[in-house]
Every structure is written in structure tokens, then in C-alpha cells.
Amino acid sequence: MLRYRAAGLAALFVCAFAAWLIVSGAFVHGHDARRTTASRAEGLAAWDQVYSVLTSPRCINCHTATNYPQQGDERHRHFANVVRGPAGKGVPGLNCVSCHQETNADSTGVPGGHNWHLAPLSMRWQDINDQPLSSSAVCRALVDRSKNNGMGGPELLKHNQEEALVLWAWNPGRRPDGSLRTLPPMSHAEFVSATRTWVEGGTPCPQGK
């Protein structure tokens, strides 16, 4: 009797799991005709890699919870009291683009990229004390369509592949002293690959707060 119950439970579990998989959109269609699934475990492992990039200075400095950006590898508050402003672009008289142009200005040490601005507060990856949020918290924010501008898996992948300010992180230009800014912990290609695996794994998020 126990065996039947166990099997029944197992079957129930498998069905439930399958249902959950379907509901969570794990089977992604449309962008690739090849077999493109990854396991949840693979997705989680890939997420760890993605998280390590997102919380590296070149990315997280503009994903703040405060009304200011950060700068530098030590991630201190950006100098000259620049502020977020209503649209993350600064304020009249002190816009992001008051200094940051469309490309890096290596001769003066100011980084630049298209439409330089702060990520919206919905996409903050730190708390108000400038501490990076946990892996699970960042992940949850990333997949929350009400926060991420309606992006699903494919859109998230495309964002990481093509968005100008994302690409900037791997071409961050020179500091005023001539040294190259620190790159994220892996190449852009590796980052995209990890993103893809994570997406194919169902954009799983680790448990926890």
C-alpha cells in the first residue's frame, strides 16, 4: 500500500512540477528552433554568474536605491552632488548628459554611452545604505514584469546583448589618470551566454530574501 501511495505521490509531484514548469514559462518558444532548454539547476548556476556581473561596479553604480549614482570601484557617491531627477536623467543644470556624452571621453576621463541615465528605482539592486541586494532579491526584481518594463526572458536576453549602456560596461573608458576602468568579472560573450542559460532554465531565482 505504501508503494502505491509513494508512486501516486511521485506521479502527483511530477504532474505538479510539469504544471509548474509550464506555468512559469520554462518552455520558451520562438527565438530558436534548436533544443534550447536548460535545467533549473543550470539556470540557477547561470544566474550566479549574471548576478556577479550585475553587482560589479560598472553595472551596479547606476542601479541605486537612492537619489544619486555611485562611481568608482569603491562605489562611493558620485561627486558634485549629481542627483537622480524625475526621470533618472538628472535635473536642469545638472543632467547626466551635462558631462556624459554619447561615447567615452578618454582624454578627459569621463565615461559616456548613448542616453546616459540612471536605471529606474524599480531596477535598484542596492538598498538605501548602498549595500547590494541579495541574489534572490535582484533576481526577483529582474523577472518582475511590473518592474522591468514588461520584459520577459527573450527581452531580457536581448537587453543584455544589445543595450548600449550594458555594452558600455565592457568598454568603460579611461579614468582621468589614464588607467582603464575595471571590467566586469567575465567577458560580454560569457555574460550573454550565462543570461541565455538562465533564461532557458526558466529564469529561476534562488530561494531566500
Partner 1 sequence: MATYQLNVNGQRKQVNVDPSTPLLWVLREELKMTGTKYGCGISACGACTVHLDGIATRSCVVPVSLVGDRSIVTIESMAADPVGRAVQDAWVDKDVVQCGYCQSGQIMSAVALLNATPKPTDTDIEESMGGNLCRCATYVRIREAIKSASQQIK
Partner 2 sequence: MRAAVELEKQVQVNRRSFLQVSAGAAGGLLVSLYLDVPAFAHEGNRAQPAKVYPPDAFVDIRPDGKILITVNRLEFGQGVQTSLPMILADEMDADWSQVIADLAPAADVYKDPVFGIQMVGGSGSIAHSFQQYRELGAKTRAMLVAAAADRWRVSPAQCRTENSVVYGPGNKSARYAELAKDAASKAIPEQVRLKNPSEFHLIGKKVLRLDSRPKCDGSQKFGLDLDLPGMKIAMVAHPPVFSGKVKSFDDKDARTLDGVREVFEIALSKGSGVAVVADRFWTAKQARDRLKIDWDLSGIEHPDSSQLWSKYQELVRMPGNIAVSRGDEKAIDKIAPANRIVAEYEFPYLAHTPMEPLNATVRFDGDRAEAWVPSQFQTMDQMAIGEVLGLKPEQVTFHTEFAGGGFGRRAVIDSHVPREAASIAKRLRGTPVKLIWTREDDVRGGYYRPMHAHRVEVGIGPDSMPAAWRHVIVGQSLVAGTPFAAMLIKNGVDETTVEGTADTSYNLPNFHVTAHNPTVNVPVLWWRSVGNTHTAYVMETLVDELATRARIDPIEYRRKLLKPEAKKLRSVLDLMAEKSAPWRRNLAQGHAAGIACHECFDTAVACAVDVSIENKRPRINRATLAVNCGLAVNPLTVESQFQAGVGFGVTQLMARGAITFKDGRVEQRNFDGYTPPYIMDAPVTADVHIVPSTEAPTGCGEPPVPVISPAVVNALSKLTGKRYRSLPLVSL
Positions that interact with partner 2 (CB under 8 A): 79-81, 107, 176, 178
Q: Which is nearer to partner 2, 61 or 195 (CB)?
A: 61
| Residue 173 interacting partner from partner 1, partner 2, none (CB closer than 5 to 8 Å by kind) | none
CB of 123 to partner 2, least distance (A): 22
Which of the 8 DSSP states describes residue 190?
A: H
* Nearest distance from C-beta of residue 81 to partner 2, angstroms: 6
Which residues would be at the binding site for partner 1 (CB under 8 A)? Answer: 79-83, 85, 91-95, 97-99, 101-103, 105-110, 112, 176
- In this structure, are residues 152 and 145 in contact, taking their beta carbons and an 8 Å threshold? yes
Least distance (Å) between residue 121 CB and partner 1: 16
Of residues 66 and 136, the one with the C-beta less far from partner 2: 66
Q: By the 8 A CB rule, do 206 and 135 touch? A: yes
Residue (176 or 185) nearer to partner 2, CB: 176
Residue among 4 and 79 whose Cβ is closer to partner 2: 79
Q: DSSP 3-state assignment of 182?
A: coil
Helix locations, the chain, DSSP H: 2-23, 40-54, 57-60, 135-143, 153-162, 164-168, 188-200
**Minimum CB distance to partner 1 smaller for 52 or for 98:** 98
Find the shortest distance in angstroms from Cβ 190 to partner 2: 32
Minimal CA–CA distance to 147: which of 128, 116, 124, 127? Answer: 124
Q: Answer with the entry of partner 2, partner 1, none that 121 interacts with (C-beta below 5 to 8 A by kind).
A: none
Q: How far apart are CA 28 and CA 36, in angstroms?
A: 8
User: In three state form, how does the secondary structure of 86-133 look?
Assistant: CCCCEECCEEHHHCCCCCCECCCCECCCCCCCCCCHHHCCECCCCCEC
Shortest distance, position 99 Cβ to partner 2, whole Å: 12
